[in-house]
Amino acid sequence: MHNVNPLENVQKILKKSCEILNLDDSLYELLKEPERTIEINIPVKMDNGKVSVFKGYRSQHCDVMGPYKGGIRFHQNVNVDEVKALSIWMSLKCSATHLPFGGGKGGIIVNVNELSESELERLSRGYVKEIYKYIGDRFDIPAPDVNTNEKIMAWMLDEYIKLTGNNTLATFTGKALEFGGSHGRKEATGVGVAVMTREALNKLGIDIKESRIAIQGFGNVGSNTAKHLERMGGNILSISEYDNEKGVYTIYNEKGFNISELISHFEKYKTLINFEGAKLISIDQFYSLDVDVIIPCALENSITEEEANKIRAKLIVEGANGPVDYFADRILKQKNVVVIPDILANSGGVIASYLEWIQNISGIDMTEDDVLNKVEYKMLLAYNEIMKIKNEYDVTTRLASYIYSVLRLYKILKLRSRI
Ligand SMILES: NC(=O)c1ccc[n+]([C@@H]2O[C@H](COP(=O)([O-])OP(=O)(O)OC[C@H]3O[C@@H](n4cnc5c(N)ncnc54)[C@H](O)[C@@H]3O)[C@@H](O)[C@H]2O)c1
């Protein structure tokens, strides 16, 4: 069994796509690491009066297409390689979907469940205090990621404005509607994942109305993906979630779940267990389910060789970033399982963030329909272009997506004489 960290994971595929393109040796050397990674220590006065110091990062990968753009993650497993990898994926995602942004990502090593609300606020403001000189609406635009949300964005933006006097809303996206946020932003990633699932199923000759779907993670991406797949007629048979006390658990119903009821249940009880008609199954059973598609929407490396060997689904759509590791990917290829990669599948979030940024800068509002239609339009454009590359080079959808993104980055790097 191989263990690949997310940075090695993205570098391996990046290298392969650069080799296939065979353009310039320096292309891979330039793209394999971020332009800079900032490491910070954040002192936070805890409720008991003592100071705890938290480690945080901001990685800025490549700014040739525009300001760095990417979320900030609060998680106990955050580490520098993960943040770097996530920033590289952001560059590739922005390039694939023709956004005027480069890749960025941030994170703090913290278990949010161990902090009170006021400690969380001081930590969020403390992060901005350490990085405010290196972000800005034309330089680096953060957003939420795992365990961060519009409340945290409000604290961060407020702190940024206080420290800089630059009263712009456009420095952070993923904000509350009342504080410069955009209609449709919360749903956008899930809408995009659902649209990509529909297209890929269609290509496999499976009618979405007949489809059987399993989802890992029922947070922002997972729950909105489920909601929109249900709207399109898909049947969600199984969902795997994580609970601080119980660990990973999985629910299953062969007839499929009513997603709006499931979302209400999860909001109310913070667990999917005891939902009417939900049978508990093991995680091994989850991966070997007789379903058409598995949609991982939790964290990186959920699907390693072990899980890949069990998978019977014909399609994997990566709602999360980096959920299938490099070696699992090779097994899935041998098994003819189609994988729609993260840099394409979950790009709806950054597209909506781009539209939020445009609204903040221009002062012109968009409706939810404006935003979600634009998300779908841009993703379908990227999907169709990537399918052409897939056929031309006879490669997997992941490699085709990388080739497409890297080629666009190469052209602009060349125009700007950076290589
Ligand atoms: N939120 C966005 O707009 C967005 C956009 C693009 C990519 N992503 C990526 O999607 C992934 C999920 O992000 P999110 O915003 O939905 O986060 P989230 O915190 O809202 O949801 C993640 C969910 O996964 C669950 N989970 C964690 N570990 C699990 C495990 N081992 N098995 C099953 N469930 C598990 C958590 O309990 C949580 O409910 C991340 O990789 C993130 O980087 C998010």
Nearest Cα residue to atom 8 of ligand 1: 320
DSSP states of 258-293: -HHHHHHHHHHHSS-TT-TTPEEE-HHHHHT---SE
Ligand 1 centre distance from Cα of residue 275 (Å): 21
Nearest Cα residue to atom 38 of ligand 1: 219
DSSP states of 327-371: HHHHHHHHTT-EEE-HHHHTTHHHHHHHHHHHHHHH-----HHHH
Structure confidence at residue 25 as a pLDDT band (50, 70, 90)? confident
CA–CA separation, 57 and 42 (whole Å): 10
CA–CA separation, 416 and 382 (whole Å): 24
Nearest Cα residue to atom 10 of ligand 1: 320
Tell me what pLDDT residue 179 has.
97
Q: Is the pLDDT of residue 46 over 80?
A: yes
Q: Is the pLDDT of residue 2 over 70?
A: no
Question: Which ligand 1 atom is the nearest neighbour of the CA of 248?
Answer: 32
Question: Which ligand 1 atom is the nearest neighbour of the CA of 319?
Answer: 10
User: Which position has the token pair 């339009």?
Assistant: 377
Q: What is the ipTM of this complex?
A: 0.99
Q: Which residues line ligand 1 (CB under 6 A)?
A: 145-147, 189, 216-222, 240-242, 248, 297-299, 319-321, 346, 349
Copy the structure tokens of residue 370. Answer: 């404006």
At residue 92, what is the residue type? Answer: L
Contact 14, 28 (CB under 8 A): yes
Determine which helix (DSSP H) or strand (DSSP E) holds 249, and give its type and residue range. strand 247-252
CA–CA separation, 215 and 11 (whole Å): 27
Nearest Cα residue to atom 20 of ligand 1: 219
- Helices 6-21 & 326-334, crossing angle to 10 degrees? 60
Q: Which of 92, 195, 221 to mutate to test the pocket of ligand 1 (most atoms within 8 A of CB)?
A: 221
Collapse the DSSP code of 135 into the 3-class scheme (helix H, G, I; strand E, B; otherwise coil) and give the result: coil
Question: Which ligand 1 atom is the nearest neighbour of the CA of 73?
Answer: 43
pTM: 0.96
Structure confidence at residue 197 as a pLDDT band (50, 70, 90)? very high
Ligand 1 centre distance from Cα of residue 80 (Å): 19
- Helices 259-269 & 220-231, crossing angle to 10 degrees? 160
- Beta sheet of 235-243, edge-to-edge order: 279-281, 247-252, 235-243, 212-216, 293-296, 315-317, 338-340
Tell me what pLDDT residue 4 has.
77
Ligand 1 centre distance from Cα of residue 65 (Å): 27
Question: Which ligand 1 atom is the nearest neighbour of the CA of 300?
Answer: 41
Q: Is the pLDDT of residue 217 over 70?
A: yes
Angstrom CA distances, 399 to 90, 102, 111, 350, stand at 16, 20, 34, 21
Ligand 1 centre distance from Cα of residue 334 (Å): 28
Ligand 1 centre distance from Cα of residue 187 (Å): 13
CA–CA separation, 399 and 396 (whole Å): 5
Question: Which ligand 1 atom is the nearest neighbour of the CA of 189?
Answer: 3
Structure confidence at residue 246 as a pLDDT band (50, 70, 90)? confident
- Beta sheet of 51-62, edge-to-edge order: 36-45, 51-62, 102-109, 68-75, 140-144
Nearest Cα residue to atom 22 of ligand 1: 219
Nearest Cα residue to atom 43 of ligand 1: 321
Ligand 1 centre distance from Cα of residue 293 (Å): 18
Contact 186, 375 (CB under 8 A): no
**pLDDT per residue as tens digits for the range 379-399:** 999 999 999 999 999 999 999
Is beta strand 338-340 parallel, antiparallel or unpaired with respect to 315-317? Answer: parallel
Tell me what pLDDT residue 222 has.
98
Tell me what pLDDT residue 245 has.
85
CA–CA separation, 362 and 175 (whole Å): 16
Contact 11, 397 (CB under 8 A): no
Q: Is the pLDDT of residue 1 over 70?
A: no
User: Which position has the token pair 């709006």?
Assistant: 260
CA–CA separation, 151 and 147 (whole Å): 11
CA–CA separation, 238 and 124 (whole Å): 35
Active centre residues (catalytic): 105
Among 229, 205, 149, 191, CA closest to 345: 191
| pLDDT mean over 135-157 | 97
Cβ-proximal residues to 210 (8 Å cutoff; 6+ apart), any chain? none
Tell me what pLDDT residue 78 has.
97
